[in-house]
Homo-oligomer: A and B are copies of this chain.
């Protein structure tokens, strides 16, 4: 049969990174492509003990039964208190929803706010899945320039005026892909500007717990006075991505609409996963896993940064992030390097990265690449960067 797919899906391919994963089946491949947490940090023993204890407790039947779309109430209450560490004060259960990974919040926000042809502003470059999701709702991504301190506020205001966007999507702390963090002043200004023009903000924060140095900066949500900001985060980078547990915090009216959207999609997030995360907090394990994880990630980041300094050609410059999972690099125009074209050759040499164009709203960038340091070992990182450096030097010649 000749399938006639819907207009929203007919030209949709897979998200570039997940397609790359399939190419990475070579066992000796060094992958800087994904955003996988370090496997040795996954708390298997703790999760096994918790799951077993939960199933032997008086909560067992509740956990295996249907749950509320809003999320497991004890976890919602815990998160309402937890988000004070992001400067979000006074949140209650009614402000919190559990989602099946933070990415589900992006999907639900687009579902609830974006009509065909509506504009969503994104940082240029941004998390590529947000661009992918927006396309399934037939929205249009428009990139906002950004620099060391975060979004360019003039460009943001101009684009709000020009495009009347429904929403701004951003990752202000250890951004994916750049690893950069918005300054306090930029965060305040984003909250004020978007409130002034009635633009929703989706503040995505998957990485801020993986901080190597510097101080926490309060979230954009913490400066929200009119309820236009939704904050989302997940436990994928701290506890386990396989459990698929994230959350969002926002105005109760918006949360209620997202809940209706989620009800249709998956009824609720796995109760067992939610209860495991709740119990993980109850046992005080969350801060412990962070203190185990952060030094490991920092060592890997340092190894990658040092290898870049040592091996990469002078035409290459890159970020040195204070946290998160990624280094973002780019070649000078004069180098002639096209990171998208170079990708296949790098894979042949046994190293994968993600080329820059997938992170830009207009998909035109050819100079950048994103390098993940959490999946490979420090030795693999050193070796992989050397291979990439030799390859790019060859290409530049």
A residues in contact (CB < 8 Å) with B: 1-9, 12-15, 18, 21, 34, 36-37, 39-40, 42-45, 47-49, 51-56, 60-69, 100-101, 103-104, 107, 111-115, 118, 129, 132-133, 136-137, 166, 195, 198, 200, 226-228, 236, 240-244, 251, 253-254, 257, 259-261, 263-273, 276
Contact A129 B264 (CB under 8 A): yes
Task: Write the chain B residue with the least CB distance to A224.
Answer: B1
Contact of A267 with B103 at beta-carbon distance under 8 Å, contacts A48-B55, A55-B47, A66-B36 already known? yes
CA distance A53 to B397 in the complex (A): 55
CA distance A327 to B358 in the complex (A): 52
CA distance A200 to B1 in the complex (A): 10
Which B residues are CB-close (under 8 A) to A60?
42, 44, 48
Of A107, A236, A260, chain B has the most CB atoms within 10 Å of the CB of A260
- Determine which of B9, B198, B264 lies in contact with A132 in the assembled complex, contact meaning CB atoms within 8 Å: B264
In the A-B complex, the 10 residue pairs with the closest CB atoms = A48-B55, A242-B271, A51-B51, A44-B60, A52-B52, A64-B240, A270-B270, A42-B64, A100-B266, A64-B242
Copies per complex?
2
Which B residues are CB-close (under 8 A) to A6?
111-115, 118, 137
Task: Write the chain B residue with the least CB distance to A59.
Answer: B44
CA distance A101 to B267 in the complex (A): 8
Contact B55 A44 (CB under 8 A): yes
Contact B61 A42 (CB under 8 A): yes
Of A52, A133, A273, A276, chain B has the most CB atoms within 10 Å of the CB of A52
Q: Distance in Å from the Cβ of A260 to the closest Cβ of chain B?
A: 5
- Give 25 CB contacts A-B under 8 Å: A1-B226, A3-B254, A6-B137, A7-B115, A9-B112, A12-B261, A15-B264, A40-B61, A42-B61, A42-B65, A47-B272, A48-B53, A48-B60, A49-B55, A51-B52, A52-B52, A64-B243, A101-B266, A103-B266, A132-B264, A136-B261, A242-B272, A243-B270, A270-B272, A272-B273
Task: Write the chain B residue with the least CB distance to A239.
Answer: B64
Contact B273 A1 (CB under 8 A): no
Contact A243 B265 (CB under 8 A): no
- Determine which of B15, B37, B137, B264 lies in contact with A107 in the assembled complex, contact meaning CB atoms within 8 Å: B264
CA distance A228 to B236 in the complex (A): 37
Task: Write the chain B residue with the least CB distance to A67.
Answer: B242
CA distance A195 to B40 in the complex (A): 51
Task: Write the chain B residue with the least CB distance to A2.
Answer: B198
CA distance A242 to B36 in the complex (A): 26
